[in-house]
Amino acid sequence: MREKGATKTVMRLAAHAALCAVAMLPLSGCRMFDAPLRRGGLWVNPDSPAARQVRERQDEGKNRDAALIRQIAQQPVAEWLGPAPPRERVRFITESAARTGSTPVLVAYHIPYRDCGRYSAGGARSAHAYRRWIEQITLGIGDRKAIVVLEPDAVAQLVDGCVPARQRTARLAMLRDAVAMFAALPHVRVYVDAGNPGWIKNPYRLVRSLREGGIEQADGFALNVSNFQPTRRTKAYGHRLSAALDGTHFVIDTSRNGNGPLRLRGAARHGIRARDSWCNPPGRALGKRPSTSTGDSLVDAYLWIKRPGESDGTCNGGPPAGHWWTEYALGLARNAPRRH
């Protein structure tokens, strides 16, 4: 499997370079392959937590709540993959999407020492276990379409220092290996997570780690995953990072950025510590709906990568990370701009 995948990746990169040379385009400005994001749209899970909540509220006669949650249920939202064996679930998701001609968004989130032991702590036990887990995802996808967002926070945590220095080389090797495995699939676009502008404020600090993590083989990077930074600010940040990466494209998570982040003054008013202001902050809103029509040649898509209505962790009144939280979902929908 390793030799075949590596050979296929090398062939694909060689073909990509040749095509760009013929077109007289810089390598970074030539798309690696044509996995049509726009054709068929993005996949909407008809049995998502939000969809189930809509049905429950309707059965209870709570039609106003159902209408609010429907704002989430009707949108394509990413499917997060964690410690459970992913192959069959990924196959089910990609086959379901293929039947409708749409493309699912998957989030690979299982790197060792995930989230630096915080609210979403966990991850694979070793580099070998992680590689096997990634391999299972690739087998589940097969020759079907998918967008993969690779390891939220993994690169930014290297830069901010919460990952021990002795783990840096191993983590980057795991990311690089994962990128290569996804890049070997014919109809997959893979985006390496690169944090958000409220975290690593100078985007150039990310460049070295992204390069060492295999960004050249990826289709781009992802910004604002599970965060609340405004789209305009995130886009400007992405343009700066893209320029340092030879024009690499990117996607933006707009799932909960309709009101931007909770400001420190607002956090203090709610009795929230500054370091927890990112975790289930009150008063937030749904952001721009998922779309591949961004009006920006570098932004491939606005995506709802974080699942609106799922908790960030046991902070600010929330249940464990990833658990559905009805009241928070209702708040996001209630506060959403009328046109978003």
**CATH at residue 173:** 3.20.20.40
324 has binding-site annotation: no
| Backbone dihedral angles phi then psi of residue 92, each to the nearest 5 degrees | -60, -45
In the annotation, is 47 catalytic?
A: no
Q: Given this model, what pLDDT does residue 26 score?
A: 40
Residue 156 neighbours by CB under 8 Å, 6+ apart? 193, 194, 195, 196, 199, 200, 206
Total domains present in the chain: 1
Q: Given this model, what pLDDT does residue 117 score?
A: 64
- The one-character DSSP state at 257 is B
pTM of the model: 0.89
Strand partners, 285: 257
CB atoms within 10 A of CB 63: 10
Is residue 180, in this structure, part of any structural domain at all? Answer: yes
In the annotation, is 153 catalytic?
A: yes
Q: Give the residue ranges of the chain where pLDDT is below 50.
A: 1-36
Is residue 294, in this structure, part of any structural domain at all? Answer: yes
316 has binding-site annotation: no
Is residue 327, in this structure, part of any structural domain at all? Answer: yes
Q: Given this model, what pLDDT does residue 16 score?
A: 44
Q: Given this model, what pLDDT does residue 38 score?
A: 65
Q: Given this model, what pLDDT does residue 35 score?
A: 44
Q: Given this model, what pLDDT does residue 268 score?
A: 66
Choosing from 219, 253, 300, 312, which is the catalytic residue?
A: 312
310 has binding-site annotation: yes
Choosing from 115, 193, 219, 253, which is the catalytic residue?
A: 115
Q: Given this model, what pLDDT does residue 277 score?
A: 79
Helix (H, G, I), strand (E, B) or coil at 122: strand
In the annotation, is 193 catalytic?
A: no
Domain that holds residue 143: 31-334
Residue 132 neighbours by CB under 8 Å, 6+ apart? none
Is residue 340, in this structure, part of any structural domain at all? Answer: no
DSSP string, 62-107: -HHHHHHHHHHHTS-B-EEE-SS--HHHHHHHHHHHHHHT-B-EEE
Is residue 317, in this structure, part of any structural domain at all? Answer: yes
What are the helix (H) ranges across the chain? 2-23, 49-59, 63-73, 87-100, 127-141, 154-160, 168-183, 207-212, 231-244, 264-269, 326-334
Is residue 8, in this structure, part of any structural domain at all? Answer: no
Q: Given this model, what pLDDT does residue 10 score?
A: 45
43 has binding-site annotation: no
How many Å apart are CA 94 and CA 241, to the nearest integer?
Answer: 31
Is residue 11, in this structure, part of any structural domain at all? Answer: no
Helix, strand, coil distribution of the chain in percent, nearest 5: 45, 15, 45
